Amino acid sequence: MRTLYIECNSGISGDMTAAALLDLGADREGLLSMLESMPLAGYHIEIGRTEKRGISACDFQVVPEGQEYTHRHLSDIFGIIEQTDVSPNVKALAKRMFLIVAEAEAKAHNVPVERVHFHEVGAVDSIVDIMSAAYLIESLHIQRAVVSEIREGRGQVRCQHGSLPVPVPAVVNITQAQGLSLRLTDVEGEMVTPTGAAIAAALREYGGYPYKEGDRKESFSEGGGVGGRLLASGCGAGKKEFPHANVLRALLFEGDAPEEGLWMLETNMDDCTGEALGYMVEKLLEAGARDAFFTPVFMKKNRPAYLLSVLCSGNLRENLERLIFSHTTTIGIRRYRVERTALPREGLTAETSYGKVRAKRIGGPEGTSVLPEYESVREICERTGEGFAKVYDQVKRELHESMSGPALL
């Protein structure tokens, strides 16, 4: 298993993330090619090296060419992502990052998500930062990401709406909603941007448990320990000067998959509408639940009801419980630890007659099977108009012929 560890001792931002991943060895040429395909003008990229308190770090800058005053909605940004020549997985990850920011901004301004006007986040540099981070993550072929405790400064910061306290409301909302571990420090200035917080939150959905200072034993027991053979390290430079080195460090490990510590959350409901239940499952899966499903049951007084079951990793348990309490009528949730036996699997991107598709290679006792991911099949069907079963069977057959082999270890 390839594990990416992001160390946020000096906060996190979009440009720091892109720089750290490039310094780690991610695909620079592919990134530049992807950015050229984006329907976005008014900037150019500069990639170089700099020093922060004696530490050499990669410097990633989006340099504007002229002044941009465009205020974009989420749908506008999703349109830019969809028109970019990049894999469905990169598109999905970038959309997830923007959605996390949109939900935080919607809460901060008390408006629906679709009405949020993106100012800073709608600017060219933030779009490029997020698309770059999503592309570079895929290029590293990781199966798991672990994000450290995120450290933030204090004071005030100037933005589109004037002076705001540090951490800014969007960062507060993201860390709270996504269960990120945030530590406030005495450093004067902003170290965490909304874009950076959203990237951290989306990366954690690769299955990593957030490492917390002073909580190492619990983190390791929950399946979040980081270790193995260190393949590479990288540092991404921030644009500000602090008393400490303003860098984001990334480490790439290869080793055995950690033993999973999973929880099952359960609750019975006889007074919740079908619409609310369906929405609840969508929110749980978006927030990182491994599985979420309903089972028809009968409660006291023979009332027909539903049992909600949610399988999740330990780092997401509290956040998912908050979601359940917020969006359903339940007043109590049962929880217990579960163990499971899982076959080894790895994600991959492969060429087919339909173009590039995302798939998973699963190891079994008698060999491996390669199955296409739903989103890739869905994208092909939308593009070609062909039936789902036909596309799925054809892609599966091509993947099997080209990529099946001995059992995964």
| Structural domain includes residue 397 | yes
- Residue that finishes a domain, picked among 209, 227, 254: 254
Pairwise pLDDT comparison (369 vs 209), residue with the higher score: 369
Q: What is the CATH number of the domain that holds 294?
A: 3.30.70.1380
Q: Would you put residue 397 in left (φ > 0), alpha (ψ -120 to 50) or beta?
A: alpha
pTM: 0.66
Same domain membership, residue 213 and residue 319 = no
pLDDT digits (tens, 9 = 90+) for 144-183: 888 999 999 999 887 766 788 999 999 999 998 888 889 9
Task: Output the average pLDDT for the chain.
Answer: 86
Q: pLDDT band at residue 383, thresholds of 50, 70 and 90? A: very high
Residues 241, 360, single domain; the answer is: no
Mean pLDDT of 211-237: 59
Are 268 and 374 members of one domain? no
Q: Total domain count for the chain? A: 3
What is the average per-residue pLDDT within 28-36?
A: 96
H-helix or E-strand containing 93? helix 88-109
Domain stop point among 211, 237, 254: 254
Mean pLDDT of 76-85: 94
Residues 69 and 116 in one domain: yes
The range of the structural domain enclosing residue 95 comes to: 2-254
408 domain-assigned: no
Task: pLDDT band for 409, please (50, 70, 90 cuts).
Answer: very low
Cα angle vertex 359, ends 356, 360, to 5°?
Answer: 155
Q: Higher pLDDT residue, 222 or 192?
A: 192
Per the domain annotation, does 358 fall within a domain? yes
CB within 8 A of 57, min separation 6: which ones? Answer: 19, 20, 23, 49, 50, 51, 235, 236, 237, 247
Last residue of a domain, one of 254, 284, 311: 254
Percentage of residues of the chain with pLDDT beyond 90? 57
Least confident span in 4-18, 132-146, 197-211, 276-290: 197-211
- What does the pLDDT average to over 8-23? 97
Is 70 exceeded by the pLDDT of residue 248?
A: yes
CB 176 within 8 A of CB 36: no
One domain for residues 151 and 289? no
- Flag whether 409 is in a domain: no
Q: Which one of 145-154, 205-214, 340-349 scores highest in mean pLDDT?
A: 145-154
Q: Is the pLDDT of residue 389 over 60?
A: yes
**Burial class (CB within 10 angstroms; exposed 0-12, middle 13-18, buried 19+) of 91:** buried
Give pLDDT, residue 301: 85
Tokens of 10: 């000096």
Residues 124 and 180 reside in one and the same domain? yes
In contact, 337 and 263? CB cutoff 8 Å: yes
Burial of 61 (0-12, 13-18, 19+ CB in 10 A): middle
| pLDDT given for residue 120 in this prediction | 53
